[in-house]
């Protein structure tokens, strides 16, 4: 059995990665140890495919910021996993993290970081919708691929999300980990808190701007919450 974790930025995926290392042999997790610190290892689909050709038999779980359709390029069947987060909170967390980790931007206001075209189009604008709606045919640069947001794209994202095997919400992250342990016998251990930044006050107008810019992600988030509730009732 092989697993594919669709790691959406700032949804506790790094914390999960730390805990996965408690259960899986390090060689069984992508990205491998020798890609530590290599940005290509977590975002380049070409790099992932190369490593898969070299080590695919040994890899049991793929993590990284790869759209769901990447599974088609790797072939075979994967048990799919993901965690979603309120898109406004996800975006603000991403901006704070970038500010904290990028000395050149440390003094920039969050609004200015938000407006940078590369970051906005690549990693902010309806990021969750893109990660679940991209097709292999249109994916030119992995998660950084620019797309047009249409009702059809949102519908495809919702349908693909409904097909994910284990769905988690960031504000119920421990329940997600408990489900992984119960269903697959994983030993993830106690919580591991990583990559956290302290919330800061931002104008309500900026929050509304993020919400308006990411209307599809808000719709997908509402859909994810409904799916999560329905699944919880089915399992209870």
Angle at 134 between CA 80 and CA 70, to 5 degrees: 45
pLDDT in tens, 53-104: 999 999 999 999 999 999 999 997 899 999 999 999 999 999 999 999 899 9
DSSP codes joined into one string, 160-172 = HHHT-SEEEEGGG
pLDDT at 194 over 70: no
pLDDT tens by residue, 147-169 = 999 999 999 999 999 999 999 99
**Half-sphere exposure of residue 10: CA atoms within 13 angstroms, side-chain side:** 22
* 235 pLDDT more than 80: no
Question: How distant is the alpha carbon of residue 121 from its chain centre?
Answer: 16
* Dist CA 56 CA 74 (whole Å): 9
Q: Specify the CATH superfamily of domain 3-235.
A: P-loop containing nucleotide triphosphate hydrolases (3.40.50.300)
How far is it, in rounded angstroms, from Cα 89 to Cα 123?
Answer: 14
Beta strand 61-62 with 79-84 is unpaired
Does position 204 have pLDDT exceeding 70, yes or no?
A: yes
What does pTM read for this prediction? 0.94
* Cα distance between residue 179 and residue 110, in whole Å: 35
């Amino acid at each position: 059995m092989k697993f594919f974790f669709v790691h959406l930025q700032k949804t506790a995926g790094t914390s999960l990665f730390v805990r996965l290392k408690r259960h899986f042999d390090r060689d069984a997790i992508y990205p491998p140890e020798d890609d530590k610190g290599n940005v290509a290892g977590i975002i380049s689909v070409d790099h992932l495919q190369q490593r898969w050709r070299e080590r695919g038999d040994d890899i049991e779980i793929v993590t990284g910021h790869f759209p769901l359709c990447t599974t088609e390029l790797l072939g075979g069947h994967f048990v799919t996993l993901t965690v979603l987060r309120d898109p406004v909170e996800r975006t603000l967390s991403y901006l704070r993290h970038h500010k904290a980790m990028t000395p050149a931007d440390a003094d920039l206001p969050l609004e200015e970081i938000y407006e940078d075209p590369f970051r906005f189009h690549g990693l902010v604008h309806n990021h969750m919708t893109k990660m679940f709606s991209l097709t292999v045919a249109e994916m030119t640069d992995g998660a950084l691929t620019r797309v047009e947001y249409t009702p059809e794209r949102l519908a495809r994202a919702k349908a693909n999300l409904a097909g994910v095997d284990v769905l988690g919400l960031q504000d119920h992250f421990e329940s997600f980990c408990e489900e992984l342990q119960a269903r697959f016998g994983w030993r993830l251990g106690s919580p591991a808190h990583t990559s956290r930044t302290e919330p800061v006050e931002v104008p309500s107008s900026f929050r509304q701007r993020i919400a308006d810019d990411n209307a599809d992600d808000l719709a997908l988030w509402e859909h994810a919450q409904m799916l999560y509730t329905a699944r919880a009732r089915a399992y209870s």
